[in-house]
Copies of this chain bind each other. A is one copy, B any other.
Amino acid sequence: MKHRQYHVAIVGATGAVGIEMIATLEKRRFPVGKLTLLASARSAGKALKFRGRPVVVRELTKDAFIGVDIALFSAGGSISKEYAPAAVDAGAVVVDNSSAFRMDPSVPLVVPEINAADVRHHGGIIANPNCTTAITLMALHPLHRAFGVTRIFASSYQAVSGTGAKAIEELERQVSQTVRGKPITKEVYPHQIAFNVLPHVDSFLPDGYTNEEMKMQNEGRKIMGLPAFRASVTCVRVPVFRAHSIAVSAEFKKPVSVSAALKVLKRAPGLDVVDAPSSARYPMPLNVAGKYNCEVGRLRMDCAMKNGLCFWVAGDQLLKGAALNAVQIAEVLAGRWKNRT
Contacts and interface: CB of A to CB of B under 8 A. Distances in A.
Interface of A: 151-153, 155, 157, 175-176, 178-179, 190-192, 195-200, 204, 207-210, 214, 217, 230-232, 234, 236, 238-241, 245, 247, 249, 258, 277-278, 280, 282-286, 297-305, 308, 310, 312
A286 B157 contact: no
Contacts of A282: 198-200
Contact of A240 (B196, B210, B234, B241): B196
A232 B302 contact: yes
Given A197-B245, A204-B278, 18 more contacts: A157-B157, A191-B280, A196-B284, A196-B286, A197-B238, A198-B284, A199-B283, A199-B297, A200-B277, A200-B282, A208-B299, A210-B277, A230-B305, A231-B303, A232-B304, A234-B312, A236-B245, A239-B239
Contacts of A199: 245, 247, 282-284, 297-298, 312
A284 B198 CA distance: 6
Contacts of A232: 153, 249, 302-305, 308, 310
Contacts of A153: 153, 232, 249, 304
Question: Majority SS of interface residues in chain A?
Answer: mixed
Report how many copies the assembly holds: 2
A280 B201 CA distance: 11
B234 A298 contact: yes
A288 B231 CA distance: 29
A247 B195 contact: no
A242 to B, nearest CB: 9
A199 to B, nearest CB: 5
A245 B230 CA distance: 24
Contacts of A234: 155, 247, 298, 310, 312
Contacts of A299: 208
Closest 4 CB pairs of A and B: A208-B300, A155-B155, A153-B153, A232-B304
Most buried by B among A191, A199, A282, A285: A199
A310 B249 CA distance: 14
Nearest to A246: B155
A283 B236 CA distance: 12
Contacts of A196: 240, 284-286
B304 A241 contact: no
Contact of A179 (B175, B198, B214, B230): B175
